Amino acid sequence: MDMLSRFFAVPGALVLRWIGALGDVFLFLLEGLRQIFIAPKLFFKVAQQVYVIGAKSLFVIVLIALFTGMVLGLQGYYVLVKFGSVGFLGAAVSLTLIRELGPVLTAIMVAVNMLFCFTGARLLKFDLEDAIIASNANIGGPTTAAGMAVSQGWSRLVGPAMLVGVLGYVIGNYAGTVVGIILGA
């Protein structure tokens, strides 16, 4: 019987630690919701800024994308016409956008993600470690966030990092599928 209990001790401790981490995530969620509804002025200000930054800037984003594509297309057209390869214009523009503009846009998205995570954590009075792991789970997924939590000695955040990262995958996959269906891709 002693050998059997030793056999189940390690997996049992891991399961108990995982359940404790899930409890931490739930308490983290409840604290965030409590903070939102305690300060209603703050909630409305945040909602207003999210609306202004998100929905109201869509026109600017579309305009920038349109003109960037048109300028690249126009410049590429004059070069490709000389060689009789105008049919490759779309591929040339898309490769230019991916190779040249892709890293810049990725850096901007990572910076904006970190800005929102750290600002939200500051407003909701969360720990800096929680914000760092949430940002990492958002950008790199559950495995990198859990690895970072372990490497920094924040073992209590491994479970929440995995849960938030997997939840992001689930939401992202369905959201991407819906957007693809809407756009007819």
- Whether the Cβ atoms of residue 26 and residue 164 lie closer than 8 Å to each other: no
Q: What is the pLDDT of residue 101?
A: 75
Tell me the longest C-alpha to C-alpha distance in the chain. 84
pTM of the complete model? 0.46
Tens place of pLDDT per residue across the chain (185 aa):
577 777 888 888 888 888 988 888 888 878 767 766 676 666 666 566 556 555 666 666 677 777 777 888 888 888 888 888 888 888 888 777 777 777 777 778 778 888 888 888 888 888 888 888 888 888 888 888 888 888 888 888 888 888 888 888 888 888 888 888 887 75
Residues 40, 82: Cα–Cα separation, whole Å: 63
User: How many Cα atoms occupy the beta-carbon half-sphere of 159 within 13 Å?
Assistant: 16
Burial code (b: 16+ CB inside 10 Å, e: under 16) for 136-161 equals: bbbbbbbeebbebbeeeebeebbbbb
